[in-house]
C-alpha cells in the first residue's frame, strides 16, 4: 500500500498534450480598454440620466436627448459675432483673453517675487505670514474690492484672475529656490561662481520644476475663478453666458457651456504641463 503512495504522481486535470501556455491578451487590447471603458461609463451615465429625466426625477434638468436637440442652434451659431447674439466661441475667447492677461501678469510678478522671497531670508520672514493669510481669501471675495477701486468690470475680472493665480506661483517658486540642494551651492561656492552664473545656471534650473508645478496649479484656479467672476460682472464671457442661460431657463445652454468649460480647463492644464516638459530638462 505505502509503496504506491510514496511514488509521486502527476495528475493533470487535462491531458498534457493540450496547450499548457496561458493565452495572453494581445498588446493592442490595453489601448482599446483605455478608450472602451470610459466610453461605456459615459454611455451608462447618459442612459441613467435619460431614464431619470424621463421619470421626471431631475427637476428642471432636461434629458440628454432634449439637451442635444436644444443645443443645435448654439452649435450652428458657434462663431456668430452679432452684438446681441455672440456665439459661444466669442464668449470663450473673451474669457480666455482675460485669463491670458491676468495669468501672464501673475506669472511674471509671482516668479520674480517668489525668487526674491525664497532667496532672501529677511524678506521671507517678513512676507510669509502675510502671503499665507492672503492666499486663503476666496477669489470672488476680491471682486468687490476691485470693483470699488476701478469701477469697471473688465479690469476687475482680470485682477481677480491675477490675485487667484499669483499665490501658487509665488509660493512654489519661493520653495523651489529655497530647496536648491546644498551640493550645488557648495559647487558654486568653491568655483567662486558669479551671481549671474549662479542665478541662470543653478538657481533657476533647480527651481524650474517647482515653478512649473505652481504654474500648473495656477492655471486651473484661474480658469475656475474667471467663470465665477463673470457670472457676477456680466458682459461677454462664458461665465456670463452660463448665468444668462440660468436666468432665461435655458438649461441646455448651461450644460453645453459646462462641457466646454470643462474641456477648455483640461486643455489649459495640458498646455502648461507640456510647456513644463519642454522647458525643464528631465533629470
Partner 1 sequence: MAFLEIQNACKVYPGRGGQRYEALRDVNLSVREGEFVTLIGHSGCGKSTVLNMVAGLGLATSGRVTVDGRPVTGPGPERMVVFQNHALLPWLTVRQNIALAVDAVHRSLGTAERAELVEEHLQLVGLGAAADRKPGQISGGMRQRVGIARALAVRPQVLLLDEPFGALDALTRGRLQEELLRIWEAHRITVLMITHDVDEALLLSDRIVLMTNGPAATVGEIVEVPFAHPRRRGEVIDSPPYYQLRNQILHFLYERYANPIAG
* 184 forms part of the interface with partner 1 (CB under 8 A): yes
What residues contact 244, with CB distance under 8 A and at least 6 apart? 253
d(CA 186, CA 81): 60
Q: Which is nearer to partner 1, 76 or 277 (CB)?
A: 277
CB of 180 to partner 1, least distance (A): 11
Question: In the structure grid, which three cell numbers stand for residue 196, read together?
Answer: 549671474
* Torsions phi, psi for 264 (to 5 deg): -65, -40
Nearer to partner 1, 198 or 240 (CB): 198
Grid coordinates representing 6 are 510514496
Q: Does 197 bind partner 1 (CB under 8 A)?
A: yes
Contact range with partner 1 by CB under 8 A, out of 40-48, 73-81, 183-191, 232-240 = 183-191
Which residues ranging from 205 to 244 are in contact with partner 1 (CB under 8 A)? 205
Helix (H) or strand (E) holding 186: helix 182-190
Count of residues that interact with partner 1, criterion CB under 8 A = 18
Q: Does 187 bind partner 1 (CB under 8 A)?
A: yes
Q: Which residue bears the cell 438649461?
A: 251
- Does 201 contact partner 1 by CB under 8 A? yes
Nearest-approach distance from CB 277 to partner 1, in angstroms: 13
Give the single-character DSSP code of 203: I
User: Could you tell me if 211 and 169 are in contact, meaning their C-beta atoms sit under 8 angstroms apart?
Assistant: yes
Residues making contact with partner 1 (CB under 8 A): 183-184, 186-187, 189-194, 197, 201-202, 205, 280-283
Amino acid at each position: 500500500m505505502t509503496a504506491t503512495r510514496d511514488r509521486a504522481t502527476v495528475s493533470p486535470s487535462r491531458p498534457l498534450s493540450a496547450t499548457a501556455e496561458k493565452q495572453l491578451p494581445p498588446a493592442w487590447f490595453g489601448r482599446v480598454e483605455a478608450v472602451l471603458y470610459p466610453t461605456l461609463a459615459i454611455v451608462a451615465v447618459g442612459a441613467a440620466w435619460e431614464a431619470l429625466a424621463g421619470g421626471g426625477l431631475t427637476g428642471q434638468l432636461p434629458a440628454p436627448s432634449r439637451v442635444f436637440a436644444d443645443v443645435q442652434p448654439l452649435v450652428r451659431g458657434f462663431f456668430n459675432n452679432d452684438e446681441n447674439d455672440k456665439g459661444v466661441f466669442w464668449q470663450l475667447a473673451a474669457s480666455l483673453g482675460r485669463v491670458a492677461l491676468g495669468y501672464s501678469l501673475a506669472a511674471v510678478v509671482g516668479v520674480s517675487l517668489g525668487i526674491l522671497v525664497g532667496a532672501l531670508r529677511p524678506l521671507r520672514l517678513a512676507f510669509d505670514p502675510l502671503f499665507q493669510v492672503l492666499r486663503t481669501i476666496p477669489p470672488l471675495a476680491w471682486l468687490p474690492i476691485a470693483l470699488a477701486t476701478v469701477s469697471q468690470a473688465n479690469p476687475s475680472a482680470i485682477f481677480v484672475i491675477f490675485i487667484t493665480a499669483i499665490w501658487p506661483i509665488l509660493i512654489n517658486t519661493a520653495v523651489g529656490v529655497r530647496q536648491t540642494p546644498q551640493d550645488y551651492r557648495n559647487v558654486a561656492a568653491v568655483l567662486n561662481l558669479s551671481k549671474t552664473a549662479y542665478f541662470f545656471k543653478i538657481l533657476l534650473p533647480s527651481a524650474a520644476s517647482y515653478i512649473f508645478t505652481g504654474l500648473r496649479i495656477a492655471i486651473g484656479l484661474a480658469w475656475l475663478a474667471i467663470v465665477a467672476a463673470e457670472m457676477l460682472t456680466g458682459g461677454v464671457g462664458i461665465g456670463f453666458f452660463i448665468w444668462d442661460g440660468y436666468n432665461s431657463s435655458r438649461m441646455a445652454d448651461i450644460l453645453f457651456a459646462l462641457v466646454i468649460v470643462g474641456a477648455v480647463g483640461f486643455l489649459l492644464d495640458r498646455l502648461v504641463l507640456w510647456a513644463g516638459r519642454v522647458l525643464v530638462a528631465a533629470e
